[in-house]
Chains A and B, each alone.
Chain A
Amino acid sequence: MNSKLIFGIAKSLLLARWRQTLVAAVGVTFSIAMFITLLSFMNGLNDLLDGLILNRTPHVRLYNEIKPSDNQPVNAAAEFKGSYNFISSVKSGITRQEIYNSGPIMQAVKDDERVLGAAPKLTAQVFFNEGTIEITGVINGVDVEEESRLFNFKDYVTAGTAIDAKNVANSIILGKGLADILVADIGDVVQVTTIQGERFPLKVVGYFQSGIQEIDKVQSYASIGTTQKLMGKPANYITDIQVKLHDLDMAPAVTQEYAKLFDIDAEDIQTANAQFETGSNIRSLISYSVGIVLLIVAGFGIFNILNMMIYEKMDSIAILKATGFSGRDVNRIFLIIALSIGFFGGTVGLLFGFVFSVIIDNIPFDTAALPTVETYPINYSPVFYFIGGSFSMITTYFAGFFPARKASKVDPVEIIRGK
Chain B
Amino acid sequence: MQEIILEARHISKEFHDPVTVQVLSDITFTVNKGEFVSVIGKSGCGKSTLLYILSTMDTDYQGELLIDQELMTGKGDAELARIRNEKIGFVFQFHYLLNEFTVLKNVMLPGLKLGKYSQQEVEHRAIERLKMLGIGQLAQKMASRISGGEKQRVAIARALINDPHIIMGDEPTGNLDMKNSDMVFDIFKELAEVHNQTLLIVTHDQSFAESSGRIIEMEDGRILRHKS
Contacts and interface: CB of A to CB of B under 8 A. Distances in A.
Interface of A: 1-2, 5, 9, 12-13, 15-16, 315-316, 318-329, 411-413, 416-417, 419
Nearest to B101: A12
Given A324-B110, A324-B113, 10 more contacts: A1-B115, A5-B109, A12-B101, A16-B100, A319-B97, A324-B114, A326-B77, A326-B81, A327-B81, A416-B96
Nearest to A416: B92
Contacts of B96: 315, 318-319, 322, 416
A322 B94 CA distance: 13
Contact of A2 (B93, B99, B115, B170): B115
B82 interface: yes
Interface of B: 48, 52, 55, 57-58, 77-78, 81-86, 90, 92-94, 96-101, 105, 109-110, 112-115, 158, 170
Contact of A1 (B84, B112, B170): B112
A412 B48 CA distance: 13
A320 B106 CA distance: 10
Given A12-B101, A416-B96, A323 B113 contact: yes
Contact of B113 (A2, A316, A412, A417): A2
Given A12-B101, A413-B52, A413-B57, A326 B112 contact: no
Contacts of A329: 81, 113
A413 B54 CA distance: 12
Contacts of B86: 324
Contacts of A316: 98-100
A214 to B, nearest CB: 69
Contacts of B112: 1, 5
Nearest to A328: B78
User: 5 tightest A-B contacts by CB?
Assistant: A324-B85, A326-B81, A16-B100, A326-B78, A323-B110
A413 B110 CA distance: 18
A12 B100 contact: yes
A416 B170 contact: yes
A92 to B, nearest CB: 84
Q: From B58, B96, B170, name the one whose CB has the most chain A CB atoms within 10 angstroms.
A: B96
Nearest to B116: A1
Contacts of A318: 96
A386 B78 CA distance: 37
Contacts of B84: 322-324
B123 to A, nearest CB: 13
B81 A324 contact: yes
B57 A321 contact: yes
A385 to B, nearest CB: 34
B160 to A, nearest CB: 12
25 contacts: A2-B115, A5-B112, A5-B113, A9-B109, A16-B100, A316-B100, A320-B109, A321-B57, A322-B96, A323-B84, A323-B85, A324-B83, A324-B84, A324-B86, A324-B110, A325-B81, A325-B85, A325-B113, A326-B77, A326-B81, A327-B78, A329-B113, A412-B57, A416-B92, A417-B48
Contact of B82 (A13, A320, A324, A417): A324
A280 B113 CA distance: 55
Contacts of A321: 57, 81
A364 B45 CA distance: 81
A360 B93 CA distance: 61
A2 B97 CA distance: 20
A327 B77 contact: yes
A161 B113 CA distance: 76
A281 B98 CA distance: 53
Contacts of A1: 112, 115
A325 B101 CA distance: 16
Contacts of B100: 12-13, 15-16, 316
A12 B77 CA distance: 25
A181 to B, nearest CB: 78
A9 B110 CA distance: 12
A419 B170 CA distance: 12
- Among A2, A322, A329, find the residue whose CB has the most chain B CB atoms closer than 10 A: A322
A22 B97 CA distance: 25
Nearest to A315: B96
A411 B60 CA distance: 12
A1 to B, nearest CB: 5
Contacts of A412: 57
Contacts of B77: 326-328
Nearest to B112: A5
A320 B99 CA distance: 12
A242 to B, nearest CB: 69
A323 B52 contact: no
A406 to B, nearest CB: 15
Contact of B52 (A2, A327, A417): A417
Contacts of B101: 12
A326 B85 CA distance: 9
A344 B170 CA distance: 42
A332 B64 CA distance: 31
Nearest to A327: B77
A9 B108 CA distance: 12
Given A323-B85, A326-B81, A16 B113 contact: no
The listed residue with most A CB atoms (<10 A of its CB), out of B83, B93, B98, B99, is: B98
